[in-house]
């Protein structure tokens, strides 16, 4: 299945002193590396090693995504984490929406192999009672209308699917359940960004994460001028700057290398 032009993966090995740190970024459900590309380019310009893989079934077509499930998506990030651990002294993870859930799962399973997490509108549950019907619906109906481009900034396109693949969504709900059950295993420092207006992920997801993890170094930042895909929205510069400072503080390396 051909990969869409906007959905290419992004990697940078890092430069200078900050190359000792690798950062793994994960896009969200039905999205692609496009939603994380500006963030990744910012981190690469700071000298960090960066990886933004394309999760299976994403950046191609929604019927293709219906052939994949959460273990497929997780395996790609797990393998990328292993590679980054070999090439860098420390690794941080960054996740948007479902990507936040996947990186939380990585933190649960890999412990101190991950030095810190940046979460942007992480998705670990839904308040939509209709999803209780997913086990049946996903066998009868292939897709629903999609929820994409929840971006306040005019003229921005995240390149996500215009249909919601229900078999894949059913698998995502299983990932939510597994991840929520083990949130207490998360002990790494966490920087969580939450949009005050988000038409995709309810505030309960962020609250569940913050109330359930065991991390002692936790910062929640509210984004007042962005919707769900905040990495492409008006608050993106703040996310990039605060995340760079977070990584720099925890790694003890250079902050603002590109301006030096």
Q: When comparing pLDDT for 187 and 127, which is higher?
A: 187
What integer pLDDT is reported at residue 260 of this predicted model? 41
| pLDDT tens, position by position, 13-27 | 999 999 999 999 999
Q: What is the pLDDT of residues 134-180, one digit of tens each?
A: 776 777 787 888 888 999 999 999 999 999 999 999 999 999 999 99
Catalytically annotated residue among 12, 97, 123, 251? 97
Which residues are annotated binding-site positions? Answer: 29, 98
Active site (annotated) includes residue 128:
no
Asked if the model's pLDDT at residue 110 lies above 50, the reply is: yes
Name the percent of the chain lying above pLDDT 70.
96
pLDDT confidence bin for 254, thresholds 50/70/90: low
The per-residue pLDDT for 146 is: 85
Q: Which domains does the chain have, with CATH numbers?
A: 10-251 (3.40.50.1820)
pLDDT of the residue at 80: 98
Question: Mean pLDDT over all residues of the chain?
Answer: 94
In the set 150, 198, 233, 235, the catalytic residue is 198
Annotated binding site for substrate: which residue ranges?
29, 98
pLDDT at 138: 72
Distance from CA of residue 232 to its chain's centroid?
Answer: 13
pLDDT of the residue at 132: 72
pLDDT digits (tens, 9 = 90+) for 57-93: 999 999 999 999 999 999 999 999 999 999 999 999 9
To the query of whether residue 228 is one of the catalytic residues in this protein, the response is yes
Q: Active-site residue among 195, 228, 235, 251?
A: 228
Task: Check residue 39 and give its pLDDT.
Answer: 98
Note the pTM of the prediction, 2 decimals. 0.94
Arithmetic mean of pLDDT, 212-229: 98
Please state which of the ranges 100-109, 135-144, 154-163, 235-244 shows the lowest mean pLDDT.
135-144
Binning pLDDT at 50, 70 and 90, where does residue 255 land? low
């Amino acid at each position: 299945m051909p990969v869409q032009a906007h959905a290419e993966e992004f990697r940078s090995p890092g430069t200078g002193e900050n190359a000792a740190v690798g950062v793994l970024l994960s896009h969200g459900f039905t999205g692609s590396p496009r939603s994380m590309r500006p963030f990744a380019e910012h981190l690469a310009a700071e000298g960090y090693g960066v990886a933004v893989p394309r999760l299976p079934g994403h950046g191609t077509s929604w019927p293709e995504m219906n052939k994949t499930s959460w273990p497929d998506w997780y395996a790609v990030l797990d393998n990328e984490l292993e590679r980054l651990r070999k090439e860098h002294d420390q690794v941080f993870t960054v996740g948007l929406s479902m990507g936040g859930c996947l990186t939380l799962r990585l933190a649960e399973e890999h412990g101190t192999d991950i030095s810190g997490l940046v979460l942007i509108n992480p998705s670990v549950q839904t308040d939509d009672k209709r999803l209780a019907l997913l086990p049946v619906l996903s066998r009868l109906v292939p897709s629903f209308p999609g929820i994409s481009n929840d971006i306040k900034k005019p003229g921005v396109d995240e390149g996500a699917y215009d249909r919601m693949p229900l078999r894949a969504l059913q698998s995502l709900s299983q990932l939510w359940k597994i991840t929520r059950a083990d949130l207490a295993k998360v002990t790494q420092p966490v920087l969580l960004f939450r949009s005050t207006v988000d038409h995709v992920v309810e505030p309960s997801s962020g609250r569940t994460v913050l109330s359930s993890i065991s991390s002692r170094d936790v910062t929640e930042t509210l984004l007042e001028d962005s919707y769900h895909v905040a990495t492409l929205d008006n608050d993106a510069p703040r996310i990039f700057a605060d995340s760079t400072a977070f990584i720099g503080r925890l790694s003890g390396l250079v902050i603002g290398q590109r301006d030096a």
